Structure 1
Amino acid sequence: MRQVAALDEPADVRLYTFCRWAMVHVVTSPYQLVGLMDYDFLNSIDGQHWLPRFEAITRYLRDIITDGVASGVFINEDPEFIRLMVVGSLNAHHRIKTMAPSETVELDAEKGADYILRAIMADSTRLDSVRNASLKPAGFVAS
């Protein structure tokens, strides 16, 4: 996430890149990662190992979203509310993918990132260009 946050790209491209990467990573992991986003777990003894990583990801995500709201790329909404909606969508994507796998992991991740960005972009007609721009820094192959 640090690398995504540091990209010299607009906030929408950075957020799309992160969302797509996160969806692929969580679904293809041999571990059940969705539970790591729960503060009950993170504050437990077992979760202490993951807490610094989660907090860093939260900071990077918050910074990207705050930048997007401030620059007018995202809708004028509380950045923390947007962050919570993004995290909720990522969790929902994991549950949907494990219950009813459909497309390839990459195509599902692209659809999920499209859904998230379409909801928060100030100008969603730019979605295709944001998606295409996000493929280069993420190292994804266009589907």
Structure 2
Amino acid sequence: MTGRGRGPDGAARARILVEASRLFAARGFHGTSTRDIAAAVGIRQPTLYSHFPSKHAILAALLDADLRPALARVRAALDLDGSPAARLHALLVADVSAILSLPYDVRGFYNDEVLELLELDEQARLREELHDLTTRLIGLGVESGEFLAEDPSFARGAITGLTLQAVSDRGPDPSPDPAHTALRIADFVVRALLADRRRLGPVQKASAALVPAVASAAE
């Protein structure tokens, strides 16, 4: 019988990421050691280092699991045909569903101001690009008159806040119904931004046709 975490390399790596994410959420990045992570997985510390050279590399892999697919989705939303409102709605449905479905405890990803660490400079750059592209999509709606003349950066910040709250509400495990929460957030955001809120129904319909293309961009 093999011990916990001692299967094939891929399974061991996945277990390390899951347990590390839970420890980061519970104790914070700086309050967690590689020894803690190895103990949670049920492996020796040298074995952990055969998969990840450092604690920073573990968090970088966790952040990449969120940020890189999210970037692919927002780029797809910007490239698709359709109104900015429909594309933003589709992006939120796909993006929030994806983050709530991750096998990791996402609550600890962005704590402790970890993205200011030099070792996570690439992940900080990715997050900044993600924010910039999302802001650009909202700005298209403002420019077209479809959205209220609201500051796109403020709206993007509100989206981030709602997403982080959904992550907090989710807890350590994947959501049993991520699409429900994602749709609520998408409806709330787009309804708040629309210059004519009576258009929410048509926007939802157009969004439903775009969601598969946005979601599949990250695959």
Question: What TM-score does the superposition give when structure 2 sets the normalisation length?
Answer: 0.56
Q: What's the CA shift for 1:98?
A: 3.0
Confirm or deny: 8 A CA contact 1:19 1:90 kept in the other structure.
no
Check 1:33–1:53 CA distance in 2 against 1; reply closer, same or farther (3 A cut): farther
Distance 2:192 2:210 in 1: 22
Q: For residues 15-74 of structure 1, give each alpha carbon's deviation from its aligned partner in whole angstroms, at most 9, with x where no partner exists.
A: 111111121111111123455556922221343232232122112101111111111111
The aligned runs of 1:33-52 (5 Å cut-off) are 33=106, 35-36=108-109, 40-52=113-125
What residue identity is the alignment partner of 1:7?
Answer: L
Counterpart position of 2:138: 65
Distance 1:131 1:4 in 2: 15
Check 1:103–1:112 CA distance in 2 against 1; reply closer, same or farther (3 A cut): farther
Q: For residues 73-107 of structure 1, give each alpha carbon's deviation from its aligned partner in whole angstroms, at most 9, with x where no partner exists.
A: 111111111111111111122222339x9972212
- Larger Cα-atom Rg: 2
Runs of 5+ in structure 2 lacking a partner?
Answer: 1-73, 214-219
Check 1:37–1:56 CA distance in 2 against 1; reply closer, same or farther (3 A cut): farther
- By relative contact order (CA 8 Å, sep 6+), the higher-ranking structure is 1
User: What is the aligned counterpart of 2:184 among 87, 111, 125?
Assistant: 111
User: What is the aligned counterpart of 1:86 among 153, 156, 159?
Assistant: 159
Runs of 5+ in structure 1 lacking a partner?
Answer: none
Distance 2:103 2:128 in 1: 22
The aligned runs of 1:1-143 (5 Å cut-off) are 1-33=74-106, 35-36=108-109, 40-98=113-171, 104-139=177-212
Please, which moves more after superposition, 39-48 or 103-112? 39-48
What residue identity is the alignment partner of 1:68?
Answer: G
Distance 1:14 1:22 in 2: 12
Confirm or deny: 8 A CA contact 1:37 1:54 kept in the other structure.
no
Distance 1:31 1:120 in 2: 31
Check 1:48–1:8 CA distance in 2 against 1; reply closer, same or farther (3 A cut): same
What residue identity is the alignment partner of 2:211?
Answer: A
Confirm or deny: 8 A CA contact 2:107 2:171 kept in the other structure.
no
RMSD (Å) for aligned C-alpha atoms: 2.5
Match of 1:48, SS? helix
Distance 1:60 1:66 in 2: 10
What percentage of residue pairs aligned between the two structures are identical? 26
Match of 1:139, SS? helix
What residue identity is the alignment partner of 1:64?
Answer: L
Match of 1:76, SS? coil
